[in-house]
Structure 1
Amino acid sequence: MRSLSVVLNPLLLLLIGSCPPTATVGPQEGWQVYSSAQDPDGRCVCTVVAPEQSLCSRDAKGRHLRQLLEKVQNMSQSIEVLNLRTQRDFQYIMRMENQIKGLRSKFRQVESDRRTLVNKNFQELKGRMASLQPLIPVLEQYKTDTRLISQFREEIRNLSAVLTGLQEELGAHDYEELQLQVLNLETRLHRCMNKLTCGKLMKISGPLTVKTSGTRFGAWMSDPQEPLQRVWYMDSYTNNRIVKEFKSLSDFVAGVESKTYNLPFKWAGTNHVVFNGSLYYNKMQSNIVVRYSLESGRVVTQRALESAGFHNVYPYTWGGFSDIDLMSDELGLWAVYATNQNAGNIVISQLNPDTLQILKTWNTEYSKRNAGESFMICGTLYITNSHLTGAKVYYAYSTRTSTYEYMDIPFHNPYFHLSMLDYNSRERVLYGWNNGHQVLFNVTLFHVIRTQDES
């Protein structure tokens, strides 16, 4: 197989019938990576890692302007030193001028009456001449300063020419026109991204520690169905009904709450999800799923998951009433739980987001009590083998093919105890609650998309 390998810029990646080359972007450049190669059949195989990085952070003109700014600052400091020195020397020269005037008067006196010249006058004249000796290096320094000032003037003229050239170059392109071009490229890129909505998990990187707050156990999440990145925060795994809302991730980091919800029922576990404007959670000491509208502030629907174990009958390995795990992905809303009928093994049910009715159910052969955590990506359930250090994604069950496979995808668990792990399909990241730390894990997905020739 022959593959291609080149750097991709998110603004310039246009998947229009050919396969662009691959690249790796360092963490300091952001999280989003788009890459691709060709499989033996000539199909485009693409990798996407999110969230988005800041655009144009490596602009060459910006670097050039920053270098020029540093140069101007250095020149300004040198001119300031030179100015202080010339002011000091000017005062010294003024004193020398007075001494020269006195010396001239003495010479006139000697010239007018040579007969009065005595040894005392010679001694006084000799002393004044000696006092004028320091004036010679001062004058030499003035010559040097004059040359330095000339060099500064020349550099400033050159600098002005460069800045004028840059201004003309930038002025040649209308800013609004450039902005429209950028928006057009972003729109085309997102259309391409829509082709890459589903893929197979290949790698988990990170995490990024966003904040440290709350107890050891809890949940935090964002709604993948809304463009805003509001954050909802639910501390503890039981005996609580307070949900905090933050308008943005930065407000969450700063602790600036925008709203507080007092749920009518307490929750169980940490496996809640916000999807399309509603909060879905497991009602405490029951197998009932509650749909709570965040807009109206009331319960819209609640429905029991028949035969689902609850209240630590079939929890994850860490316990915490984590029997029923609600999650979402590109395909909708899901519930993961276990039943006696399936011998305590994991059951996957796709739910209607409005009515909470079960649309379809899949029975797996993986024990719920042996699972550390799980999450859905593109209709595939990925299960970790532990919630502690050394955990890895060990098992995957595809609802599309009703088949499973064993995997070996490690991920870093820096705080030793993971009590929540959920996928956000809009941001393509995993939200995690790691021993009182709110973290984000980056995911790499393997995609196969159709080119124009295949469509």
Structure 2
Amino acid sequence: MMLCVIVLLCSLFTITQQTVPPAKCLCELSSSEKAFPFDKLKTVQDSASLCNKNITPEKTFDLESLLLGLDRRLPELEKDVEMLEKENDGELYGALSLHVIENELAEIKQLLDKLNSTALAHLDLSADATLQLVDVKGDMQELEEFDTMQVVKSQQANQRLKRDLDQCRNGLHPTPKPTLSPEGTCPHGRFLNISGPRVFTAGEYPGSYMYGAWGRDPKPEAGKESWHWLVLMTSSNRHSNYIRQYSSLSSLIAGVSVPGNVQIHPNNPTTNTIQGPNVVLYGGALYYNCYNTDAVCQFNLTTKSIIRLELPKGTRYNSKGNFCHLEECYPYTDLDLATDESGIWVIYTTTQNFGNLVLSKVKLDQQLKLSQTWYTSVYKQSVTNTFMACGILYATRYVDKTVEEIFYSFDTSTGKENFNIGIFINKMSPNILSLNYSPVDQMLHAYSDSKLVSYKLLFEKTHDTYTYMQ
């Protein structure tokens, strides 16, 4: 009887537990922080996209093309007028010459009208963009108030620390006292800016060779003053065994190489052939990184002889000290050869200098030597390319697919570095694989994803003429 009562009580307790509804828990979340203004962020993004859409390298290229056309036509007109003044017979010859000059003036007037309308359109675009950027800057400053974790401030602090670290590293390797005389200062004045593309061509082999280099010989042989050269990496984008020559810029653009190839060796690659795209031609000889070694080769195009220059112990080679940006590195760009008004330079890295750029002047003799070396505090793998102009080393970095920045300089006559050059190159293709400065005409020749592009360096003494033409 007692057992039955206990069982009944247990059953009753179980039924009671099942029928009682569970307790409900309600929570209220209150935040003292302001709601993030996503609509304002969207407005800023739209404004930035509109600026990128409206301001493109092609628009700058249009203006530069008009300026280049005017630059070439005015000297021709001047020559024709001088010829008319000297040889005018007052009859048929004079009438024909006047008719030619009249046509030239009409074409120049058309160019000027188009140039004026293009310049006015660019001024309106610049004014609109300036107003948009002011608004965007104000909106971004307001949005920074929502950065409660101070991410932006931390990034700015990191940038300051990096700059201080670069300056500290420079103290580890004091720059040798400059031995160059004051004539090392640039005869063209200070480097101020760079033009848009002056030459843009796919060349003789459109899209076939992604890596290469091209340019002019700063010290050409007699009769070859207008010649241009081209070196293509024909084996795995890394190696080459010949240089191709063209009798003029027009021949290069048209893809007509009358001189043809000058071969270093029948095999590619092999001992003393070319490794990497950073090559230069100077005084009828090609200078490049010798295959599979930390050395520079000089290949004489006339005698076909080769002289080697061994670089200091610890020099990085075989793709261990490349030019790079965040997305990729350019293979076998350990050594960069450069020319300027004073001769030939080699830019490289060593283990002793912690991967920072090292610059050496090449002394031309029966045996190649390094005459002087400078140590910089810019890290090689943060650089995409280098070139020399008037004894000053310039380094570039990748900004995006359409823009490259000349951000750094090292003056060999003073030993001073500048990390804030801020000169931008409008690219016609995402990657610039080599840069060669020509002191003959102050042009910068770029090999960009199989395309050949050139830019005019604007110096202090040439800038006045360029400004007047604008």
TM class, shorter-chain normalised? 0.5 to 0.7
DSSP 3-state at the match of 1:284: coil
**1:417 Cα deviation after fit:** 1.1
2:64/2:196 contact within 8 Å kept: no
CA distance, structure 2, for counterparts of residue 261 and residue 166 of structure 1: 48
- The counterpart of 1:209, out of the listed 200, 204, 207, is 200
Cα displacement string for residues 353-390 of structure 1 (whole angstroms, at most 9, x for unaligned residues): 23321100000000011101110000000100228533
Structure 2 residue 310 is the aligned partner of structure 1 residue 297: no
* Aligned-residue offset at 1:60: 9.2
Check if 1:279 corresponds to 2:286. yes
Higher helix share: 2
Q: Which residue of structure 2 aligns with residue 400 of structure 1?
A: 413
Shift of 1:351: 0.7
Residues 1:166 and 1:32: Cα distance change in structure 2 (over 3 Å): closer
Q: Deviations over 1:414-443 (max 9, x none)?
A: 211110111010021001111110111111
- 1:344 paired to 2:332: no
1:219 is aligned to 213
Q: Aligned partners of 2:93, 2:447: CA distance in 1, in Å?
A: 53
In the alignment, which of 302, 306, 331 is matched to residue 342 of structure 2?
331
Give the deviation of 1:232 after TM superposition.
1.8
Question: Is 2:190 aligned against 1:200?
Answer: yes
1:159-178 matched pairs, under 5 angstroms: 166-167=94-95
1:170-189 C-alpha deviation (Å, 9 max, x unpaired): 8xxxxxxxxxxxxxxxxxxx
Change beyond 3 A, Cα 1:353–1:211: farther
1:434 alignment partner in structure 2: 448
Change (3 A) 1:424 1:53: farther
CA distance in 2, matches of 1:346, 1:296: 33
The 3 A distance-change label for structure 1 pair 360 and 198 is farther
1:141 corresponds in structure 2 to: none
- The C-alpha deviation readout for 1:107-154, integer Å capped at 9, x for no partner, is xxxxxxxxxxxxxxxxxxxxxxxxxxxxxxxxxxxxxxxxxxxxxxxx
- Match for residue 377 of structure 2? 365
SS at match of 1:385: strand
Pair 1:233-2:233 in alignment: no
Distance 1:290 1:59 in 2: 44
Deviations 1:252-284 (A, max 9, x none): 222222131221432111110000111101012
Structure-2 change in CA distance of 1:270 and 1:31 (3 Å):
farther
CA distance, structure 2, for counterparts of residue 234 and residue 216 of structure 1: 11
CA–CA separation in structure 1 for the residues paired with 2:399 and 2:433: 7
**4+ long deviations beyond 4 Å:** 58-62, 162-170
SS in 1 for 2:323: coil
Q: Which residue of 1 aligns with 2:77?
A: 57
C-alpha separation between the residues in 2 aligned to 1:418 and 1:239? 17
Please state if 1:386 is matched with 2:398: yes
Alpha carbons of structure 1 residues 303 and 344: separation in structure 2 relative to 1, 3 Å: same
Structure 2: give runs of 5+ residues left out of the alignment: 1-62, 85-89, 99-184, 266-271, 463-470
Give the distance between the partners of 1:341 and 1:242, measured in 2 at CA.
Answer: 34
Give distance in 2, aligned partners of 1:26 and 1:259. 32
C-alpha distance in structure 1 between counterparts of 2:392 and 2:310, whole Å: 24
Give the whole-Å Cα distance in 2 for the aligned partners of 1:329 and 1:309: 24
Gap regions ≥5 residues in structure 1: 1-24, 34-51, 65-161, 171-194, 449-455
Distance 1:329 1:378 in 2: 6
Letter of the 1:282 partner, please give it: N
User: How much has 1:313 moved relative to structure 2?
Assistant: 1.1
Aligned pairs (5 A) from 1:186-197 = 197=187
Using a 3 Å threshold, how does the CA distance of structure 1 residues 424 and 246 change in structure 2: closer, same or farther? Answer: same
Gap change, CA 1:297 and 1:26, over 3 Å in 2: same
Amino acid corresponding to residue 404 of structure 1 in structure 2: E
2:437 and 2:445 in contact (8 A); partners too? yes
In the alignment, the residues of structure 2 paired with residue 281 and residue 405 of structure 1 have an alpha-carbon distance, to the nearest angstrom, of: 28
Q: In structure 2, what is the Cα distance between the partners aligned to 1:379 and 1:325?
A: 15
Residue type of the alignment partner of 2:330: G
**What do you get for the CA RMSD once the two structures are aligned?**
3.1
Equivalent position of 1:3 in the other structure: none
* Corresponding position of 1:419: 433
Larger radius of gyration: 1
Amino acid at match of 1:204: I
The TM-score with structure 1 as length reference comes to 0.57
